[in-house]
Structure 1
Amino acid sequence: MISKENISNWFQELQSDICNAIEKEDGKGEFKTDEWQHTSGGGGKSRLLSNGAVLEKAGVNFSAVKGEAPKSLLNTLEVEVDDEQTPTFFATGVSIVMHPKSPMVPIIHMNVRYFELSNGTYWFGGGIDLTPHIIDKEQASWFHQQLKNACDRHDLDYYPNFKSWADEYFYLPHRNETRGIGGIFFDRLKEDSNKSKEDVFKFVQSIGESFAPVYTHLMQINKEKLFEEKHKAWQLLRRGRYVEFNLVWDRGTKFGLQTGGRTESILMSMPPTANWAYNYQHQEGFEKETAKLLKKNIDWIN
């Protein structure tokens, strides 16, 4: 049986591999490492790139934390335990958000994680989604095809199920719009009659390994595109929507804060600058075209 140490070690290697690939494609920026300790045990490494040639801000976090599971956390996770015992938890994973300088390069997010309680309860979770400031249908289709390919190697039901889950998860109800073009999202994934724990971990590894080739390709094909001030203004508004989702709806942010996580690492996902305009009305052209596509249940591949 694969151990939590094996899983955590692989996540740490993934962090290093992704940082190396992104640095190479950016050509200028370098990730700086900030090691930290969790108040109840364990810790992590936050790696941040600032003011690169392509990326204005990029964060790749690794964490492996442990401690007593507070009631608030167990309630959030909807886990029932014996009231006479307080279980301990172990949580490890890699979390990534990249904010490019150019409005023509999309924002990307990925998280792959593992959670375990001392009573034997465990699961894997994660997701990867793309938030173009200006949606390119051809690139959206390519992105979703890469995710489908990774999912199909393990289970043909994964992509349609996890794509729908992402549509529901990466959604701003107060705006009635999706955060971007979605991707996949999964949680509480564990062994069953058809898959072992090792099988599930191999799927999580496939998703993690897909990040670097997918995003470096998108960086490469978009970084030289010309843009105007109106595109930059739109980028700041879309970044504002990104902030709204992460602070109001994102479960990872809530989990980190509830478990006494490191605030700087938790809020790494925030863009360096953003804007909010009162009662903003979409302009004709790329703004309205993008807004029309911020919807659930779009079949990007077919």
Structure 2
Amino acid sequence: MNSTAPAPAATAPPRTMVENWMRHFQDWLCYRLALADGGGLHFAETPWEHAGGGGGRTRVLQNGAVLEKSGVAFSAVWGGLSEQAAQSLQLPDRRYFATGVSVVQHPRSPMVPISHMNVRYFEAGNGEAWFGGGLDLTPVYVDVAQARWFHEQLEAMCQRHDASYYARFKKWGDEYFYLPHRRETRGVGGLFFDRLTVGPDGSFEELFAFVQDVGELYGRTYQAIIAQTRDLPFTAREKHWQLVRRGRYAEFNLAIDRGTRFGLETGGRTESILMSLPPQAEWHYDLVPEPGSAEETSQQWLRQGVDWRHAD
């Protein structure tokens, strides 16, 4: 399997080009994640079909040496949205085509951050087309130097495409990856962007190139973070806190995440849609971190508007 991200053929229609790249990107990312895990395990694949047309393939690696649960899901589906879903997306025509890759990582060790990434492309029946996506890092214990490095990588990648992207999409990420009922961010943030429309927001080629770079950056940076943190020691107390933080992650994905809602509303495969949930999590009534503890310190970083590039 190739160890570099694939380049799409430049002669196919846009939706075919994007779908083909998404398929190959799933292959490439699974290769990198299995290599980073180092346990000799492979992703198990479940193909599925969509009632309206198309389908996908969900790949999950479970009980790895580093990754307790790693999910990388590809889909390319089409059909007609319900009237309610079409209205929520502000579509005059209910016909649609959508393709994307959605990724979530739940490591064994509380020293290795949870991570998420997704990239997607949507065509409406009236011909309007747009890209969306995002990536973020959810450490159980916030490592400021790690968060700073991660955001420096994001900024450098964005600068290659549009000088405004990092500030815009970082702010959007702070607003999106947020649990209002907890008044805390999901982690140290990242990027979030939606409905980057072909034409008003850039050419197809420009927006597609940006989305490809988002995917490549995710694979490269998360592989590096695994290598840096996989062998760090941890205690039973830290493992317990990981399960508590996983509970917050599950709350976000079930109550807030747009991709979860879209998948359920369009008749996607339930197991694939809920792939993002952790294998284990805990909820404790009115749990408050001990004053001065590492848990309390980490909680204090979970707020919007942190400039991680200059944090210390």
Superposed CA offset, 1:47-97 (max 9, x none): 000000000000000000000121121122122x1xxxx531100000000
- Out of 185, 190, 193, the position equivalent to 2:197 is 190
- Out of 53, 59, 66, the position equivalent to 1:41 is 53
**Residue 27 of structure 1: aligned partner:** 38
- Out of 67, 71, 74, the position equivalent to 2:86 is 74
Q: Does 1:16 align with 2:24?
A: no
Give the secondary structure class of the aligned counterpart of 1:301: helix
Counterparts of 1:123 and 1:27, CA distance in 2: 37
Q: Assess if the C-alpha contact under 8 Å between 1:124 and 1:190 holds in 2.
A: yes
CA offset at residue 195 of structure 1? 2.6
Counterparts of 2:73 and 2:100, CA distance in 1: 8
- Out of 237, 249, 255, the position equivalent to 2:256 is 249
Deviates more, 1:107-116 or 1:23-32: 23-32
Deviates more, 1:66-75 or 1:41-50: 66-75
Counterparts of 2:200 and 2:250, CA distance in 1: 40
**Residue 138 of structure 1: aligned partner:** 145
CA offset at residue 212 of structure 1? 1.2
Q: Assess if the C-alpha contact under 8 Å between 1:63 and 1:92 holds in 2.
A: yes
Counterparts of 2:128 and 2:251, CA distance in 1: 32
Q: Assess if the C-alpha contact under 8 Å between 1:64 and 1:92 holds in 2.
A: yes
Identity among equivalent positions (%) equals 51
Residues 1-302 of structure 1 mapped to structure 2, 5 A cutoff: 2-28=13-39, 29-79=41-91, 81=92, 87-192=94-199, 195-283=202-290, 284-302=292-310
Counterparts of 1:193 and 1:140, CA distance in 2: 32
CA offset at residue 2 of structure 1? 4.9
Counterparts of 1:185 and 1:131, CA distance in 2: 14
List runs of 5+ in structure 1 lacking aligned partners: none
Deviates more, 1:281-290 or 1:103-112: 281-290
Counterparts of 1:56 and 1:76, CA distance in 2: 35
CA offset at residue 141 of structure 1? 0.4
Q: Assess if the C-alpha contact under 8 Å between 1:2 and 1:198 holds in 2.
A: no
List runs of 5+ in structure 2 lacking aligned partners: 1-11
Q: Assess if the C-alpha contact under 8 Å between 2:102 and 2:119 holds in 1.
A: yes
Q: TM-score when scaled to structure 1?
A: 0.96
Deviates more, 1:25-34 or 1:240-249: 25-34
Counterparts of 1:3 and 1:157, CA distance in 2: 25
Give the secondary structure class of the aligned counterpart of 2:192: strand
Counterparts of 2:77 and 2:254, CA distance in 1: 22
Count matched residues.
Answer: 297
CA offset at residue 191 of structure 1? 3.0
Q: TM-score when scaled to structure 2?
A: 0.93
Counterparts of 2:198 and 2:265, CA distance in 1: 27
Give the secondary structure class of the aligned counterpart of 1:166: helix
CA offset at residue 286 of structure 1? 1.0
CA RMSD across the alignment: 1.1
